[in-house]
């Protein structure tokens, strides 16, 4: 069994670094008595990575199949790869940092959205930031958070409000569609549809937990 000298905890499973403090673990057959309870391996990291690799390959293949039939004029493979990179970034954040991870993902979503709009504006505005980048960011963040929470046993109350917030942010492209600011509708439509489905499912499935967390945060 591995042992963390920093936390003074015995760590079961195949961890190489401590899931509590991220320090390197020491292999010890008879570690000193721990002041904390043993920390079980809560998810199979290799299984999660294999699943994300499979999902990435499926999405790329699906893009080529759809492009063969519909001949996308504006929606290139680079946008699919960009979305996958954001999804993988979300996965890495969730695996390496357990605390406030959902909040970090929301901050990442907002940060990259602002950066993309800034560069689009400074490089002679063409609308690629609101047509492609922001909708893809919303889709990727939601997929990353939703899929990752299925592999990692997080408490629902720790991420439920941020998951709902991510879903609400996914409705922002609806404004782009209504105002006719986008030159290509598919990314925005996908973002809105996914956000609606995620928001409704999460709301009904975790209604009581959501209400309890709202009461705590806003002191109802």
Reported as a single tens digit per residue, the pLDDT across 194-218 is: 999 988 988 888 888 888 877 777 7
Q: Which two tokens stand for residue 153?
A: 């046993």
Torsion of CA 14, 17, 19, 22, to 10 degrees: -170
- The answer to whether the beta carbons of residues 2 and 28 sit under 8 Å apart is yes
| Beta-carbon contacts of residue 19 (< 8 Å; ≥ 6 apart) | 11, 39, 42, 98
DSSP state of 57: H
pLDDT tens digits along 27-37:
765 544 444 44
Q: List phi, psi (to 5°) of 119.
A: -70, -35
Of 41-45, 136-140, 213-217, the least confident:
41-45
User: Strands, DSSP E only, in the chain?
Assistant: 2-4, 9-11, 26-27
Domain boundaries, the chain: 1-41, 45-218
């Amino acid at each position: 069994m591995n042992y963390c000298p920093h936390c003074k905890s015995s760590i079961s499973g195949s961890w190489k670094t401590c899931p509590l403090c991220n320090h390197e673990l020491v292999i010890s057959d008879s570690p000193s008595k721990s002041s904390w309870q043993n920390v079980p391996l809560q998810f199979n990291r290799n299984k999660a990575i294999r699943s994300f690799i499979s999902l990435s390959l499926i999405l790329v293949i699906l893009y080529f199949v759809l492009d063969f039939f519909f001949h996308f004029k504006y929606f290139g493979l680079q946008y699919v790869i960009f979305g996958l990179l954001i999804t993988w970034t979300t996965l890495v954040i969730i695996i390496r940092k357990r605390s406030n991870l959902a909040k970090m993902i929301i901050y990442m979503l907002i940060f990259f959205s602002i950066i993309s709009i800034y560069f689009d504006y400074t490089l002679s505005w063409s609308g690629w930031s609101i047509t492609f980048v922001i909708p893809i960011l919303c889709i990727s963040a939601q997929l990353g958070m939703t899929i990752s929470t299925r592999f990692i046993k997080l408490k629902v109350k720790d991420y439920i409000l941020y998951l709902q917030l991510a879903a609400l942010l996914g409705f922002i492209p609806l404004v782009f569609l209504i105002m006719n600011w986008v030159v290509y509708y598919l990314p925005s439509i996908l973002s809105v549809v996914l956000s609606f489905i995620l928001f409704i499912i999460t709301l009904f499935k975790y209604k009581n937990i959501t209400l309890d967390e709202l009461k705590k945060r806003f002191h109802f």
